[in-house]
A and B are shown apart, each in its own frame.
Chain A
Amino acid sequence: MSALAAELQGHEPMAPEPWRILAVRREVADGEVFTWTLEPLSGRAATARPGQFNMLYLFGVGEVAISVSAIEDDGAVVHTIRAVGSVTRAMQGLRTGEVVGVRGPFGTAWPVADAKGRDLVLAAGGIGLAPLRPVVHAVLARRQDFGRVLLCYGARSPRDLIFRDELDEWQVRRELDLRVTVDRGTADWKGDVGVVTQLIDRGGFDGRNALAMVCGPEVMMRFSALSLHRRGVAPERTFVSMERSMRCALGFCGHCQIGPHFVCRDGPVFPYPVMEPAFRVNEL
């Protein structure tokens, strides 16, 4: 947690601050994935960096760790949430104007600055696009600093694609090579069918000089890392974002521990070689 965040919370990192929901947006047709834009009632908040997460607290229900999916210029923070458990399903029912608790930001960030002067490969699977979206925003804001930028995005089906409007916008921009694929097409789907690793295998970047950031289900990250290495991207320049059950977010409780690493404190963004052994251990 940043010093400013601790100061803002009066050195009580376990105490959530009240934030108001400014906007709610459905990302998929049934609303299972939705995006909140949040602002602090206090008017002050620590600025999150791409890849970090906040603990979102629905009073009386529970708390969940959710990655930042955009960082607005005015201090508002955007989170994209998939309703899969008791807390996130309850969050699905909240509307604009309601107040939730926020702790954070926590964790490590994507090494965007390290990608300067290099080709950048972003590989996202499913809702894993959300933690990478702030990277895309940061890169597009300083596009001249980077070489080729490739975004490979895979989803289960066309109806599961999130940020559709933004994808359409990125698709027509020349600054970004956006490749989208789905595991299962539909009759009206005109795009690619196949897994995200195939998009990486097609290349279009200088692997020896590239840096890669990968976010999605663990099996997708493992196979993506293999594809990247086949294309010449060094393992130490491949970064992954890990998901575990985060509770305290401070590295105390141990719920998110993977070997010697606390995902909430030492991650969620790790260099691939640090996490590679964990990918080979079942139920770790």
Chain B
Amino acid sequence: MRELLEILQGQSFFDGLTEAQLKLVAAFAALRSFEAGRYLFREHEPADAFYLIRSGRVSLESLLPGRQPGTFMTLGGGDMLGWSWLIPPYRWHYDARALEPVHTAHFDAAALRERMDHDPVLGYALHKRFTMLIVERLQAARLQHLDIYASGEGDVGLGG
């Protein structure tokens, strides 16, 4: 518990939470590791957790029929993983696979969600943080979609 609390205190995602709130969140957490190639979760499975990746890299993948799974994002040490536990029907939308040995803090989100329903102050504080995370990922996805490195027209600019 003490170790988990220290881990949470060192993460900017949890900055601003009171010590009591951090202790509460830590009470729903456990350290969990995954070998390379193991899935943290699979598409369509119940989303009843979220993760703080402490080290290692995780690939977010989507199943493409007849093709290899497509990686649309990788996450690494310090990144938060998973928000489908916040939104009905609480199912994962993608696969998350360990690309190398991955060490995480795993949060029992189903239980935490229930707690948040009864503790709106904590619920709001966590919702704000996950909303920021979702917005950052949305902005990143838009940027990725824009194909900003595609060749332009003509010799405009510094060409390198």
> Is A87 close to B, CB under 8 A?
yes
Q: Is the CB of B151 within 8 A of A82?
A: yes
Q: Is the CB of A125 within 8 A of B148?
A: yes
Produce 1/0 per residue, A179-208, CB < 8 A to B.
001011101001111110110011100000
> Is A126 close to B, CB under 8 A?
yes
- Given A194-B144, A202-B76, A202-B79, decide whether A64 and B155 contact each other with a Cβ distance below 8 A: yes
Q: Is the CB of A131 within 8 A of B76?
A: no
Complex CA–CA separation, A130 to B158 (angstroms): 10
The residue among A82, A195, A201, A203 with the most chain B CB atoms within 10 A of its own CB is A195
Produce 1/0 per residue, B46-64, CB < 8 A to A.
0000000000010100000
Q: Is the CB of B149 within 8 A of A160?
A: yes
Produce 1/0 per residue, B78-113, CB < 8 A to A.
110000000000000000000100000000000000
The residue among B12, B146, B150, B159 with the most chain A CB atoms within 10 A of its own CB is B159
Residues of A74-109 at the interface with B, using a CB-CB cut-off of 8 Å, are 79-82, 84-88
Q: Is the CB of B76 within 8 A of A192?
A: yes
Option from B77, B99, B160 in Cβ contact (under 8 Å) with A81: B160
Complex CA–CA separation, A160 to B77 (angstroms): 26
> Is B157 close to A, CB under 8 A?
yes
Q: Is the CB of B143 within 8 A of A197?
A: yes
- Given A198-B140, A220-B148, A223-B143, decide whether A85 and B71 contact each other with a Cβ distance below 8 A: no
- A240–chain B nearest beta-carbon distance, Å: 12
Q: How many residues of A contact B (CB 8 A)?
A: 54
> Is A244 close to B, CB under 8 A?
yes
Q: Is the CB of A84 within 8 A of B158?
A: no
Q: Is the CB of B148 within 8 A of A217?
A: yes
> Is A69 close to B, CB under 8 A?
yes
The residue among A160, A198, A201 with the most chain B CB atoms within 10 A of its own CB is A198
Complex CA–CA separation, A185 to B154 (angstroms): 27
- A190–chain B nearest beta-carbon distance, Å: 7
Q: Is the CB of A84 within 8 A of B159?
A: yes
> Is A50 close to B, CB under 8 A?
no
- Given A67-B159, A67-B160, A241-B158, decide whether A223 and B149 contact each other with a Cβ distance below 8 A: no
- A82–chain B nearest beta-carbon distance, Å: 5
Q: Is the CB of B99 within 8 A of A69?
A: no
Q: Is the CB of A194 within 8 A of B78?
A: no
- Given A84-B151, A217-B148, A220-B143, decide whether A130 and B156 contact each other with a Cβ distance below 8 A: no
> Is A245 close to B, CB under 8 A?
yes
Complex CA–CA separation, A189 to B111 (angstroms): 38
- B132–chain A nearest beta-carbon distance, Å: 10
Q: Is the CB of B149 within 8 A of A268?
A: no
Q: How many residues of B contact A (CB 8 A)?
A: 34
Option from A86, A193, A197 in Cβ contact (under 8 Å) with B72: A193
Q: Is the CB of A85 within 8 A of B155?
A: yes
Q: Is the CB of A195 within 8 A of B78?
A: no
- B127–chain A nearest beta-carbon distance, Å: 19
Contacts of B150 in A (CB 8 A): 156
- B97–chain A nearest beta-carbon distance, Å: 12
Complex CA–CA separation, A40 to B59 (angstroms): 49
Produce 1/0 per residue, B118-150, CB < 8 A to A.
000000000000000000100110011011111
Complex CA–CA separation, A104 to B12 (angstroms): 46
- A279–chain B nearest beta-carbon distance, Å: 13
Contacts of A246 in B (CB 8 A): 157-158
Complex CA–CA separation, A203 to B72 (angstroms): 21
Q: Is the CB of A65 within 8 A of B159?
A: yes
Contacts of A110 in B (CB 8 A): none
Contacts of A33 in B (CB 8 A): 160
Contacts of B73 in A (CB 8 A): 193-194, 198
- A255–chain B nearest beta-carbon distance, Å: 10
Complex CA–CA separation, A192 to B79 (angstroms): 13
> Is A155 close to B, CB under 8 A?
yes
Q: Interface of B with A (CB < 8 Å)? A: 12, 57, 59, 68, 70-74, 76-79, 99, 136, 139-140, 143-144, 146-160
